[in-house]
Amino acid sequence: MQTRRLGRSGLTISEIAYGNWLTHGSQVEEDAAHACVRAALDVGITTFDTADVYAGTKAESVLGRALAGQRREGLEIFTKVYWPTGPGANDRGLSRKHIVESCNASLQRLQTDYVDLYQAHRYDSSVPLEETMTAFADLVRQGKVLYLGVSEWRAEEIAAAAELARELKVQLVSNQPQYSMLWRVIEAEVVPTSEQEGLSQIVWSPLAQGVLTGKYLPGQQPPTDSRGGHATVGGSMQGYLTDDVLTRVQQLRPIADELGLSMAQLAVAWVLQNQNVAAAIIGASRPEQVHDNVKAAGVTLPAEVLTRIDEVLGDVVERDPAKTSRG
């Protein structure tokens, strides 16, 4: 497993991170979740990403139990705060009250005294940024959080937070955006700003919610056991399930074959070619998915391959920086 530095900090993380957004506590049984975590550890993944809102807080608890007994110093555990975790008016957002209470609850569920990275899961325009950043800084000084990050923040929001972090003498080191061959909205503004401010990207959905594995075929119904075949599939994924997109994705298969990679490995390797990306987050419902995806670590894609991928995908790629996820 290759490692990369996170932002301008001294923290080193595995360039493939294990995330449990759509699996732990909801889609797979706990035994299967534990097996996937063990597989991740076996292949050298040390970085684990979760959030308090995943599966209504259950995902953090499952991850905490799965990692129990591991040497804490050998792990980087990341979580997030913002989305509602209870019925109260203060059980959401980036107020001091919610940040502090959520952090304490996350630590308890994760069975740890600190998290390596605490991330603002979205930007909260209803709370002064100074309040949010000061609350985060206090958690750092208390030793409950080592580094700070954000998720799906726009370039100007990242720049403002980075300035406050410098004033508060804490380290804002990362942004966690959606990023894949099909979704490149961070490239125009977020990546240049992050490079200037000393932040890396920790990217989610490098497989475009599974579309880039090639398992969805144009003109055919999604497999019933797939995310695309689920009745409640989100709108963002529905946008990928068009014949135009799926036809282009199938045209990537010869490229993957020539390189000796699976479609999933090609997709993960592609995001890791961006030097501002510190890690690609993968999820899994079966250990073999971990073993497959992790083979993308350390792969270098030649410039001509990157050009061919761009030519194949053409205008189905989303590049509009205004499409930064707010939902």
Can you give the CATH number for the domain in which 274 is found?
Answer: 3.20.20.100
Q: Which residues are within 8 A (CB) of 109 and not within 5 positions of it... i.e. 6 or more apart?
A: 52, 57, 60, 61, 64
**CA dist., res. 192 & res. 94, Å (int):** 25
Q: Whose CA is closest to 118, among 144, 155, 142? A: 144
Q: What's the structural domain count of the chain?
A: 1
Q: Is residue 80 part of a domain?
A: yes
- Give the Å distances, CA to CA, from 122 to 127, 141, 149: 12, 23, 10
- In angstroms, how far is CA 296 from the centroid of its own chain? 16
Q: Is residue 193 part of a domain?
A: yes
Q: Is residue 228 part of a domain?
A: no
**CA dist., res. 265 & res. 189, Å (int):** 27
Q: Is residue 255 part of a domain?
A: no
Q: Is residue 33 part of a domain?
A: yes
Domain that holds residue 106: 3-210+266-299
Q: Is residue 313 part of a domain?
A: no
Helix (H) or strand (E) holding 150: strand 145-150
Q: Is residue 217 part of a domain?
A: no
**CA dist., res. 280 & res. 87, Å (int):** 33
pLDDT digits (tens, 9 = 90+) for 2-60: 999 999 999 999 999 999 887 665 667 888 889 999 999 999 999 999 999 988 888 99
User: Over 60: is that where the pLDDT of 232 sits?
Assistant: no
- State mean pLDDT over 251-262: 96
Length of the chain: 327
Q: Which of 18, 54, 118, 240 is catalytic?
A: 54
CB 147 within 8 Å of CB 173: yes
> Vertex 24, ends 102 and 214: CA angle to 5°?
125
User: Over 70: is that where the pLDDT of 119 sits?
Assistant: yes
Q: Whose CA is closest to 203, among 276, 267, 150, 277? A: 277
Can you give the pLDDT at residue 231? 44
Catalytic site includes residue 54: yes
pLDDT digits (tens, 9 = 90+) for 164-204: 999 999 999 999 999 999 999 999 999 999 999 999 999 99
Q: Is residue 310 part of a domain?
A: no
Look-up of token digits 């076996």: 42
